[in-house]
Amino acid sequence: MLLSKHLKGYEKDIVDVVLGVAEVSKTISRGFITRQGKTDTSNVYGEQQAAMDKWADELLINELGGSGLIRYLASEEQPELLEFESESDIALSVDPLDGSSLLGVNLAMGTIVGIHRGGVLKPGEEMVGAVYIIYGPLTVLVYSLGDGVHEFALNTDGDFILQKENMTIGSEKRMGPGAARNTYLPFHEEYISKLEADGYKIRFSGSFVADVHQILHKGGVFTYPGYQGSVRGKLRLLFECAPMGYIVTQAGGAVSDGYVDLLSIVPESISERVPVYIGGKREINLIMGLPK
Ligand code: AHG
Ligand code: MN
Ligand code: MN
């Protein structure tokens, strides 16, 4: 089944945005071979921008912002919220390319898009939906608009074809432990030790979106915790954690900052970082229940 057919029944403006993101992702998937370099600019997080980061960002801004389909766009690669002429109230929060440190080693990375109405400084539980694309051996697109999680793969005709419908998170013991162990805070050290004692195997690539995609399929937990030097951790609430948390929650998993449901957190700024634990309910209840 084609993505466009699977989307029938949802609100037209949302459908048009999801299909717009899908089209841009096809262009991004073809861009890696000629954009392997870095630029001399950095984003607001002080991270040097790869050529692919900036190109993917510009594509999404020009194609979606220029389409009249969206009113606002917040991007990991932009310091401010962007506003466009539009009748729509759709607002997107976007990580144009997540995992771009892997460009030189050809591991999977992706694009993450959160879909909101009326603005982006709202809790993830109020999102209309989320989409992510992974550029790997296959280019796959996963979306949820509040009625299950569905995965598509790009075929040789350039169409996204349904692979899995109403996905539910796996139950294997896998963990993606971000940050350096010698900077762990005591409660996080205890958490990781418990998982290791329980036989959890490590699955960590350096690409949040790809690592969470693996946890969604196989089960377990990905975490990028608060750590000595940054109690708020590294990953961004709006561009990474809330959209992926929305999808994993829709698949029967859960997401937390270690204390509360991450989807209940109201962002104070578009650049807010948050510690993240995302995966199966068992693994998320474990961290939330640990004394801190
Ligand atoms: P981005 O490429 O959008 O900056 O995101 C990179 C993030 C995330 O994808 C990954 O899990 C994390 O950075 C890895 O951080 P370390 O390099 O500190 O392990
Ligand atoms: Mn990212
Ligand atoms: Mn990024």
Looking at residues 143-163, what average pLDDT do you find? 98
CA distances from 155 to 1, 18, 50, 88, 149 (A): 12, 18, 27, 31, 20
Give pLDDT, residue 199: 98
Assign 253 a pLDDT band (cuts: 50, 70, 90): very high
CB 190 within 8 A of CB 174: no
Looking at all shown ligands, the one closest to residue 108's CA atom is 1
- C-beta separation of 105 from 77 below 8 A: no
113 three-class SS:
strand
Candidate from 97, 208, 215, 238 with most ligand 1 atoms within 8 A of CB, to mutate = 208
The C-alpha atoms of residue 46 and residue 48 are separated, in whole angstroms, by 6
Question: Atom of ligand 1 at shortest distance to CA of 76?
Answer: 3
Q: Which helix (H) or strand (E) holds 151?
A: strand 150-154
C-beta of residue 161 within 8 angstroms of C-beta of residue 152: yes
Query: Cα-atom radius of gyration of the chain, to the nearest Å?
Result: 18
pLDDT score recorded for residue 14? 98
251, pLDDT greater than 90: yes
Is the pTM for the entire model greater than 0.85? yes
Give, using CA atoms, the residue closest to atom 11 of ligand 1. Answer: 208
pLDDT of residue 107: 97
pLDDT of residue 29: 98
Among the atoms of ligand 1, which is closest to the Cα of residue 235? 7
* Cβ of 77 less than 6 Å from ligand 1: no
Decide if 108 contacts 127 (C-beta within 8 A). Answer: no
Q: Taking residues 227-231, what's their average pLDDT?
A: 97
Candidate from 12-26, 35-49, 79-93, 119-133 with smallest mean pLDDT: 35-49
Q: What percent of the chain has pLDDT over 70?
A: 100
Indicate whether 33 pLDDT > 90: yes
Give the integer Cα–Cα distance in Å for 25 and 56.
Answer: 9
Phi then psi for residue 71, to 5 deg, are -95, -40
- Domains annotated for the chain, with CATH where assigned, are 3-164 (3.30.540.10), 174-289 (3.40.190.80)
Range list of β-strands (E), 156-241: 160-164, 174-177, 201-202, 221-224
Mean pLDDT, residues 261-282: 98
> Residue 137 pLDDT more than 90?
yes
172 backbone dihedrals φ, ψ, rounded to 5°: -75, 160
Span 228-232, average pLDDT: 97
Tell me the pLDDT band of 7, cut-offs 50, 70 and 90: very high
Distance 96 CA to ligand 3 centre (A): 6
Contact 237, 272 (CB under 8 A): yes
Residues with CB under 5 A from ligand 3 (ion): 76, 95, 97-98
Q: How far is CA 83 from each of CA 70, 71, 133, 243, rounded to the nearest angstrom? A: 8, 6, 24, 20
Does residue 101 line the site of ligand 1, with CB under 6 A?
A: yes
Tell me the average pLDDT across 186-193: 98
The pLDDT value given to residue 174? 98
Write down the pLDDT at residue 235.
98
Question: Tokens 């954690």 map to which residue?
Answer: 241
The CA distance from 87 to 255, in Å, is 33
The pLDDT of residue 37: 87
pLDDT at 164 over 90: yes
pLDDT value at residue 69? 97
Whether the per-residue pLDDT at 227 is higher than 90: the answer is yes
Q: What is the rounded average pLDDT for all residues in the chain?
A: 97
Q: Which residue has the tokens 């999680």?
A: 149
Residue 211 has pLDDT above 90, yes or no: yes
